[in-house]
DNA sequence: TTCATAAATCAGAATATATCGATATCTCAA
DNA sequence: TTGAGATATCGATATATTCTGATTTATGAA
């Protein structure tokens, strides 16, 4: 848990939104039938929801992943990103410890 | 509680340290006798502890105050800053609500 | 009223972040 | 093996942040 990197990753409204959206798969279009059993959401769906360019979202997902807030799995041409609940919890605990 | 402004204020190690230091008055030199009954710590003490310039610390305290994380009281030529525990708690709760 | 001190504000240089379009890489399918 | 689609990476520009020293603005004391 790198608190510096994590705060920086979350210091952006779109990236915070992405973390929020990923709480619930139904925030995105239904997965293709062949992806029905996979965790996570592909970049294109996140991009569409965020309304920013593909390169920006790819970059954002990289930052969130670097910070440990999401994980990714590649399946074919798709990369599926999902929340890393434990890391998010750990971050909040670290903040409490530092500030309270 | 402006989560954007607050995260930005905390997205800096020195500013996070300041919030931490202000938990305990004994992190700073003893107050002058004529200030013994006042809350908070003067800018000069914070500056010395942080090891950054006066203008930087004054600016940082302004950001923290803008974000509601500290309050200030002027007494004579001195400005005393103290933690705003409620706001810090509210921020952590807001983060939890947004992310968990 | 004038001086010294504490803090705030200003102007500026260096670095980081946001965001894009273009290009490169990877993988499936024809 | 070629083409198309999904991501990732690159290069660039605009904006924001960090941090400084210099200046300005209080304020208390001589």
Is B31 part of any domain?
Answer: no
CA atoms A67, A70, A75, A78: torsion sign? negative
Cross-chain residue pair A19–B99, CB shorter than 8 Å? yes
Confidence (pLDDT) at A70: 98
Predicted confidence (pLDDT) per residue in A40-49, tens digit: 999 999 999 9
Q: Cβ of A11 under 8 Å from any chain B Cβ?
A: yes
- Looking at residue B61, what is its pLDDT? 98
Looking at the domain assignment, is residue B60 inside a domain?
yes
Closest CA to B46 of B74, B18, B65: B18
pLDDT attached to residue B60: 98
Find the CATH number of the domain harbouring B80: 1.10.10.10
Q: Is residue B32 part of a domain?
A: no
Does residue A18 fall inside a structural domain? yes
The ranges of chain B with pLDDT < 70 are none
- Residues in chain B with CB shorter than 8 Å from the CB of A88 are 99-100
Q: Locate A49 and state its tokens.
A: 């929801």
Please count the structural domains in chain A.
Answer: 1
Give tens-digit pLDDT for A78-97: 999 999 999 999 999 999 99
- In tens, the pLDDT along A2-53 reads 999 999 999 999 999 999 999 999 999 999 999 999 999 999 999 999 999 9
Mean pLDDT, all residues of chain A: 97
C-alpha to C-alpha distances, B75 to A14, A58, B28, B33, B81, nearest whole angstrom: 42, 51, 18, 14, 11
* Contact residues on chain A for B99, CB-CB shorter than 8 A: 16, 19-20, 88, 92
Strand ordering across the sheet containing B70-75: B41-42, B78-83, B70-75
The pLDDT of residue B100 is 84
- Would you state the torsion angle of the CA atoms of residues A85, A86, A88, A92, taken in this order, to the nearest 10 degrees? 140
| Phi, psi dihedrals of residue B96, rounded to the nearest 5° | -60, -45
Supply the range of the domain harboring residue B89. Answer: 3-25+39-99
Whether residue A33 lies inside any domain: the answer is: no
Q: pLDDT tens digits, residue range A51-62?
A: 999 999 999 999
- Is residue B75 assigned to a domain? yes
Q: Please tell me which residue of chain A has the smallest CA distance to B14.
A: A4
Query: 């954007």: which residue's tokens?
Result: B4
Q: Is residue B52 part of a domain?
A: yes
Decide if pLDDT at A100 tops 90.
no
Q: Which protein residues have Cβ within 7 A of any strand C atom?
A: A 8, 11-12, 14, 52-56, 59, 63, 74-77; B 42-44, 54-55, 58-59, 61-62, 72, 77-80
Per-residue confidence (pLDDT) for residue A9, from 0 to 100: 98
Question: What is the C-alpha to C-alpha distance for residues B95 and B90, in angstroms, rounded to an integer?
Answer: 9
């Amino acid at each position: 848990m790198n608190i510096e990197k994590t705060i920086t990753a979350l210091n952006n409204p779109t990236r915070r939104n992405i973390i929020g959206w990923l709480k619930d798969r139904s925030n995105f279009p239904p997965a293709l039938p062949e992806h029905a059993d996979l965790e996570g959401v592909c970049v294109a769906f996140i991009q569409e929801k965020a309304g920013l360019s593909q390169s920006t979202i790819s970059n954002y997902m990289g930052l969130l992943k670097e910070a440990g807030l999401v994980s990714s799995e590649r399946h074919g041409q798709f990369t599926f990103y999902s929340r890393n609940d434990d890391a998010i919890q750990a971050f909040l605990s670290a903040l409490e410890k530092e500030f309270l």
